[in-house]
Amino acid sequence: MTTSVPVGITPKSLRAMEPDKLVVQTMPTSGPLVDRYGRVHNDLRISVTDRCNLRCVYCMPEEGMTFMERDELLRFDEILRFAAVAKGLGVDAVRLTGGEPLVRKGLVSLVQGLSDLGFEDISLTTNGTELARHAGKLAAAGLRRVNISCDSLIPGRFAAIRRRATLDVVLNAMDAAEQAGLLPLKINVVLLRGQNDDEILSFAQFARETGRTVRFIEFMPLDAQGDWDRAQLVPGREVHDVISARWELEPIERSASPAPAERFRFVDGAGEIGLISSVTEPFCGTCNRLRLTSDGAIRNCLFSDSETTVRDLLRSGGSDDAIAHSLRSAVWGKFPGHGINEPGFLSPQRSMSMIGG
Ligand code: SAM
Ligand code: SF4
């Protein structure tokens, strides 16, 4: 029986690891949540709803989206029970997402519940439309950080990409988040060829002027309408080249904790940018994430269709040990990589908003 991560497996050595190299032979029954490739999972993304008040072009169709029934969604007490078990297995970071997490009523109480469980690193990814009025309460309940999505700094274009939201509301949300101390504030930008890829320098300037971290995310094959096209993707490398032709960039050493973004600072002043090159430069070798969907399925990868449902366990009096076993098995079954660039790759059946981005 393996009880811990093999000696010598650190985030740094994992990065250099060939992803198909098996390093743990038997599923551990204690110790951290480790998979066959030695990746330790301590970062849990909890989707609280698949619903959203927006219809971003790269995420959902404008009309015709169907959503889960209310009773399919985990209740907050069920989410907290799951989170408590995960915490006992070494999970120490929780991010709330969706859909749009702030369209779920009472989110503040969920944050408070997570905080009461002892989680210190609680964060939120949001479209920002509902954030301004909740930021203070969320921070008081224990939320630490927030990522706000914003794909254009041009009002008309912002509205065309995000549909049903306006840029001014989201810029206000950024101010409110900062006033509430939800720092560092990160801005997520999905670049689409021919739509907003001429704003790379504007966003870099925005990062320099505001001190907010701007993270450029590659378009992934996770849109609900199945229209993903590699030609629409703007590679992180290109973003780097465009910005560094204007301002000198310096890489920021990755911290011990694995993170998807390759980070850079501006040599001549404030500001930081991040490149999340999920498609062109996958970071699967250091992936430490697992996800709980809003209907109670554990997903070990955004791009895998394999899921382990825990809702029935949670609703039928399943023990903590049984939930822990489900978690361990889900992590153990993780593939070495997402396979987007392999021949025959198929987009997963559930899209980003259904899984939790
Ligand atoms: N609704 C919230 C928001 O928009 O921030 C949280 C959920 S959203 C699914 C999380 C992140 O995924 C957002 O930054 C969004 O821009 C990004 N996203 C959605 N669909 C994507 C796709 N197909 N490729 C890349 N990023 C995507
Ligand atoms: Fe909603 Fe976020 Fe998807 Fe946009 S990216 S449609 S805000 S879930």
Judge whether residue 257 has pLDDT over 90: no
56 lines ligand 2 (CB under 6 A): yes
How would you write 71-137 as a 3-class SS string?
HHCCCHHHHHHHHHHHHHCCCCEEEEECCCHHHCCCHHHHHHHHHHCCCCEEEEEECCCCCCCCHHH
Mutate to test the pocket of ligand 2, among 48, 51, 60, 302 (most ligand atoms within 8 A of CB): 60
Is 223 close to ligand 1, i.e. is its CB under 6 Å away?
A: yes
Nearest ligand to the C-alpha of residue 191?
1
Residue 42 has pLDDT above 80, yes or no: yes
Lowest mean pLDDT among 188-202, 270-284, 334-348: 334-348
pLDDT tens-digit readout, 216-227: 999 999 999 999
Tell me if 54 CB under 6 Å of ligand 2: yes
Determine the distance separating the centroid of ligand 2 and the alpha carbon of 56, expressed in angstroms.
Answer: 5
- Mutating to test ligand 1, I would choose from 149, 291, 294 the residue with most ligand atoms within 8 A of its C-beta, which is 149
> Which residues, including other chains, have CB under 8 Å from residue 201's CB and lie 6 or more apart?
242, 243, 246
Mean pLDDT across the stretch 240-248? 98
pLDDT tens, residue by residue, 321-343:
999 999 999 999 998 888 888 88
pLDDT higher than 90, residue 255: no
CA of 86 to the centre of ligand 1 (A): 24
- pLDDT tens per residue across span 132-144: 999 999 999 999 9
Q: How far is the CA of 126 from the centre of ligand 1 (A)?
A: 9
How many whole angstroms from 352 Cα to the centroid of ligand 1?
Answer: 7
Task: Give which of 248, 301, 249 is closest to 275, Cα–Cα.
Answer: 249
Ligand sitting nearest the alpha carbon of 151: 1
Q: What is the pTM of this model?
A: 0.93
- Sorted by sequence, the CB contacts under 8 Å of residue 249 that are 6+ apart come out as 240, 243, 264, 265, 266, 267, 273
Burial class (CB in 10 A: 0-12, 13-18, 19+), 178: middle
Ligand 1 within 6 A of 352 CB? Answer: yes
pLDDT score of 258 more than 80: no
For residue 357 and ligand 1, the question of a CB distance below 6 A is answered with: yes
Q: What domains can be seen in the chain, in order of their start residue?
A: 11-355 (3.20.20.70)
Cα–Cα dist 44/291, whole Å: 6
